[in-house]
Each structure stands twice: as structure tokens, then as C-alpha cells.
Amino acid sequence: MARVVVTGSSDGLGQMAARLMVDAGHRVVLHARSRERAAQALAAVPGAEAAVIGDLSSIDATCQVAEQVNQLGAFDAVIHNAGIGYREPHRLTVDGIASVFAVNTLAPYILTMRIHRPRRLVYLSSGMHRGAVLDLTDLTWSERPWNGASAYAESKLHDVILAFAVARLWPDVLSNALEPGWVATKMGGRGAPDDMDAAPRTQVWLATSDDPQALVSGKYFYHLKARAANPAASDADIQQQLLQACARISGVAVAA
């Protein structure tokens, strides 16, 4: 059985994935941004081992989340599920950067570099990443006029770039990305048309399964099947530029 951390698991797909894993006998640690939400998450996922707490829009708090995870011991997988949606206004974090970039891009980067290396890493992206126009010169949206949908799509491309960069740099880790589909979560909205039951299953499969098709790295998935990703994600130069930018903005170095 696997031991897995799931970020953003106080509701939505993260909570659904956590329940599936607990029901299958895996050991699961939840994450929420506050003590109140952590208590709610633990009540909603009976059998979860613990919950770590921290607001992933804050660089310092994200580093503290990583430390809490490390204090709990070794993990087989981390599912980077937490995210902000495409309807987010231009809101600045305590660090003075756009919240969409902070939560969707920078937090997974920091946690990847600060949590003791697991055997598997899983990053949630979106089909919207294919239409993203990558701008590595203004990642924090400090110069560009704000567009929530564009910021979200770009951040989800960042997640695939990060997954593929880690797969290239850390050959001992299985690092993959996926899109869960457009489903009727708080983020997706009530009118979302995709299959809610299928939405959390790919991340669980990538984090825990011994299926040979899940034991791969540097791949992108949708509903348990490999799918083509934005070609930019496979560009090693783009990967390095994103990693270096995240290191500079966060103050957290790329782990060797």
C-alpha cells in the first residue's frame, strides 16, 4: 500500500481522490489552507492519516507545508492537486504576486523542491494548457493586463512543464501530469459536462497503481490514457527557464 500526500484536499477532486485511496487501503495525508478546513477535511475523509496546514498562496506558508510533510516521514507519492480557477480576479498575495501563479505554479514548484523526494509525483493540469501562450518574461502578471482565463491556462502549462522537467532531471522519480476533465466542481462550475466519477481516478492511478502503463515518467494523461501535451512542455530550454524563474521568485533552489 502507498503513502500519499494530496494538496488541496479539503474539497473537490483532491478530497475525492483521497477518499478513493483510503477506501483502497492506502495511507493518505490531506492538506488544507487553515485549521478549520483541515478539521473539515479529516471529517470528510474518515481514515485519513493526518492533515498538513498552510495557505499555498504564501511562499513562507508553502515552505512550512513542505516541512510539515517531511516531519511525518517518507511518502510514496505527492499529488499536486491544489489550484485556483480561470475566473480568479487579479488578486495579489502577501508576496505581491498574482494568486493564480502563486498557487498553481509556484506552490507545486516549492513543494517539489522542499518535500523529501517521493517515488512518484503527480501534477494536475487542464486541457486549457494547450491553448496557453507562454510568457516567461512576466510570469507574475505584473506587466500584462490581467486575463483570468489566460493566467489559468498558462499556469496549467507550467504544471506540465514542471512535471516533464522533474522527469528529465530526476530519473529515479515517476513524474507525470494529467487533465481530470471539465467537471462540476467549485472550480469547474455547475454546467461542466465531463464525468465526475472519472475525474479523480487518473491521479490515484498514477500515484498508487502497479499497472505498467502507470509506471512511466514524463507523460500526460486523461482518464487513464496517455494524451499529447503542449509541445512547449517537452522543451528542455523552456523547462530550465521556468525552473530558474521559480527559484528566483521563491528563493527556493532547484534540488539536485
Four-point Cα dihedral 142, 189, 28, 119, nearest 10? -50
pLDDT at 187: 52
The answer to whether 175 and 159 are in contact (CB under 8 A) is no
HSE (CB half, 13 Å, CA atoms) of 235? Answer: 10
Q: Which of 86, 109, 123, 156 is flagged as catalytic?
A: 156
pLDDT score for 194: 55
Give 122's strand partners: 79, 176
The single residue of 109, 152, 219, 220 carrying the catalytic annotation is 152
* 186 belongs to the catalytic site: no
Predicted confidence (pLDDT) at residue 191 exceeds the cutoff of 70 = no
Average pLDDT over residues 121-137: 96
Q: How far is CA 224 from CA 16, 51, 100, 128, 138, in A?
A: 16, 27, 27, 18, 34
pLDDT of residue 197: 72
Domains of the chain are 3-250 (3.40.50.720)
As a whole number of angstroms, the distance between CA 241 and CA 256 comes to: 16
Task: Return d(Cα 46, Cα 49) in angstroms, integer.
Answer: 9
Residue 144 has pLDDT above 50, yes or no: yes
152 is catalytic: yes
**Rg of the chain over CA atoms, in angstroms?**
16
**pLDDT surpasses 60 at 221:** yes
For residue 83, pLDDT over 50 is answered with yes
Q: Does the pLDDT value for residue 193 go beyond 80?
A: no
DSSP secondary structure string for all residues of 52-73: EE--TTSHHHHHHHHHHHHHT-
Give yes or no for residue 51 having a pLDDT over 80.
yes
